[in-house]
Structure 1
Amino acid sequence: MPSLFRPLPRVRPAGFLPERRWWIWLALLWLALASTSRAEVPALSALPEQALGRHLGILPEMKQPLTLAEAVAQQQQGQFRSTEQVVPKFGIGSPPIWLHLAVSNDSDQAVRRQLQLEISWLDRIEVYHTQGTKVVGQWLAGDGDASFQHPLPGLGYVFDVQLPPGRNDIYLRVATTDPLVAPLRLLDAAQAATLKQQHDYGYGLLYGFLLALIAYNAMLFIGLRERGYLDYTLYLGSFVILHLAYSGHAYAWLWPGQAVFQQYAIPLMMVTFSCLGLRFASGFLNLRQHAPLAHRLVYWLIVSILGLVFGAVLLRSPQAAVTIAFLFVLIFSVTMVWLGIITIRHGRIAGRYFIAAALTTLLGSTTTALAVWQGLPYSTLAFHAAGWGVVFEGILLALALAYRMRQHQNARLQAEQLARTDPLTSLLNRRAFFEHAGPLWSAALRNQRPLSVIMADIDHFKSINDNHGHATGDKVLAAVSRRLAEACRNSDIAARWGGEEFVMLLQDTDARQAAQLAERLRAEIEGLKLGPTGYPMKLSASFGIAQLGEHESLDQLIREADQWLYQAKQNGRNRVAGALQTESA
Structure 2
Amino acid sequence: MRHRRRQRRSNSRIVKGNGPLLTANEKFHFASALRRSMLRTMFSLNPSCAYPHLRGSAAICRWLAVAFLLAFAVMARGSTPNLDDLSNDTLGRWLSVMPENGVILDIDEARRMQAMGAFQAATSTVPKFGIGAPPLWVHLQVNNTARITTERRLQLEVSWLDRIDVYHLHGHELLERWRAGDREPNLQHPLPGLGYVFDLLLPPGVNDLYLRIETLDPLLVPLRLLDELSAETLQRQYDYGYGLFYGFLLALIAYNAMLCVGLRERGYLDYVLYLGSFLLLHVAYSGHGYSSLWPQHSLAQQYVFPLLMLAFGCSGLRFASGFLELRLHAPNTHRIIHALMALAIFGITLATAAGRQQHAVLVAFLFVLAFSLAKVWIGVSTVQHGRDAGWYFLSAAVAAMAGVATTALAVWHGLPYSAPAFHAAGWGIVIEGILFALALAYRMRQYQQARQQAEALARIDPLTGLLNRRAFIEQAMPLWNNARRNDRPLAVLMTDIDHFKEVNDTYGHAVGDEVLTAISRLLADACRGSDVAARWGGEEN
TM-score normalised by L of structure 1: 0.79
Which residue of structure 2 aligns with residue 255 of structure 1? 294
Question: Which secondary structure does the structure 2 equivalent of 1:453 belong to?
Answer: coil
Per the TM alignment, residue 376 of structure 1 is displaced from its structure 2 partner at its CA by 0.5
- Say if 2:339 is the partner of 1:300: yes
Offset from partner CA, 1:423-481 (integer Å, 9 cap, x none): 11122222222222333333333333333322222111101111111111111111222
The equivalent residue for 2:9 is 29
- Tell me, in whole angstroms, the C-alpha distance in 2 between the residues paired with 1:43 and 1:97: 25
- Residue 139 of structure 1 pairs with residue 119 of structure 2: no
Which residue of the partner structure matches residue 394 of structure 1? 433
Q: Secondary structure at the match of 2:458?
A: helix
Runs of 4+ in 1 over 4 A off after TM superposition: 21-27, 33-39
Which residue pairs with 2:140 in the alignment? 101
Partner of residue 42, structure 1: 81
Q: What's the counterpart of residue 281 of structure 2?
A: 242
1:25 CA displacement: 4.3
Structure 2 residue 203 is the aligned partner of structure 1 residue 164: yes
Q: How far apart, CA to CA, are the structure 2 residues paired with 1:266 and 1:24?
A: 56
Q: Is the 8 A contact 1:177 1:318 kept in 2?
A: yes
> Could you tell me which residue of structure 2 aligns to residue 320 of structure 1?
359
What is the CA–CA distance in structure 2 between the aligned matches of 1:365 and 1:42, rounded to whole Å?
36
Tell me, what secondary structure is at the counterpart of 1:250?
A: helix
2:13/2:115 contact within 8 Å kept: no
Q: Identify which of 85, 93, 106 aligns with 2:124.
A: 85
The answer to whether the aligner puts 1:232 opposite 2:271 as a matched pair is yes
The answer on 1:203 being equivalent to 2:242 is yes
Aligned residue identity for 1:464? V
Structure 2 CA distance for partners of 1:56 and 1:33, relative to 1, 3 Å: closer
> In structure 1, what residue type is equivalent to 2:513?
D
Q: Which residue of 2 aligns with 1:539?
A: none
Change (3 A) 1:79 1:334: same
What residue identity is the alignment partner of 2:468? N
CA distance in 2: counterparts of 1:117 and 1:30, whole angstroms: 32
Opposite residue 498 of structure 1, the aligned amino acid is G
Aligned to 2:309: 270
Q: Distance in 2 between matches of 1:494 and 1:120?
A: 74
Aligned to 1:48, the other structure's residue is in SS state coil
Q: How does 1:210-229 map to 2 (within 5 A)?
A: 210-229=249-268
Q: Which residue of 2 aligns with 1:154?
A: 193
- 1:553 corresponding residue in structure 2: none
Q: Secondary structure at the match of 1:28?
A: helix
| One-letter identity of the residue aligned with 1:448 | D
Code of the aligned partner of 1:167: V
* Equivalent residue runs for 1:388-537 within 5 Å: 388-499=427-538
- Aligned position for 1:335: 374
| Residues 8-50 of structure 1 deviation map (CA, whole Å, 9 limit, x = unaligned) | xxxxxxxxxxxxx989745521314664677732110111110
Q: Is the 8 A contact 1:128 1:138 kept in 2?
A: yes
Structure 1 segments unaligned to the other structure (5+ residues): 1-20, 502-561, 563-585
1-structure distance, mates of 2:301, 2:532: 69
Q: Is there any run of 5+ residues in structure 2 with no aligned partner, and where?
A: 15-22, 28-75
What residue number does 1:69 align with? 108
Distance 1:30 1:189, change over 3 A: closer
Partner of 2:94: 55
SS in 2 for 1:456: coil
TM-score, normalised to structure 2, is 0.86
Look up the SS of the partner of 1:323 in the other structure. Answer: helix
Q: Cα 1:418–1:169, aligned 2, differ >3 Å: closer, same or farther?
A: same
1:31 maps to a residue whose letter is N
Please state how far the C-alpha of 1:333 moved relative to its aligned partner.
Answer: 0.8
Distance in 1 (alpha carbons) for counterparts of 2:538 and 2:110 = 99
Please report how far the alpha carbon of residue 121 of structure 1 lies from its aligned counterpart in structure 2 after TM superposition: 0.8
Q: Distance in 2 between matches of 1:95 and 1:153?
A: 26
1:515-570 Cα shifts (integer Å, max 9, x gaps): xxxxxxxxxxxxxxxxxxxxxxxxxxxxxxxxxxxxxxxxxxxxxxx9xxxxxxxx
Q: CA deviation at 1:60?
A: 0.3
2:64 maps to which residue?
none
Identity %: 59
Instruction: Please give the alpha-carbon distance, in whole angstroms, between the structure 2 residues aligned to 1:305 and 1:103.
Output: 46
Structure with bigger gyration radius: 1
Contact 1:477 1:500 in 2 (8 A): no
Deviations 1:371-422 (A, max 9, x none): 0000110000111111111111112222221112211211121111112221
Q: CA deviation at 1:307?
A: 1.5
Q: SS in structure 2 opposite 1:90?
A: strand
Q: 1:33 to 1:86 in 2, by over 3 A?
A: closer
The CA distance in 2 between the partners of 1:232 and 1:486, in whole Å, is: 51
Partner of 1:112: 151
AA in 2 matched with 1:391 = V
- Is the 8 Å Cα contact of residues 501 and 539 (structure 2) preserved in structure 1? no
CA contact (8 A) 1:113 1:187 kept: yes
What number of residue pairs does the alignment pair up?
482
User: Secondary structure of the residue that 2:184 maps to in structure 1?
Assistant: coil
**Residue 138 of structure 2 aligns to which amino acid in structure 1?**
L
1:87 and 1:378 in contact (8 A); partners too: yes
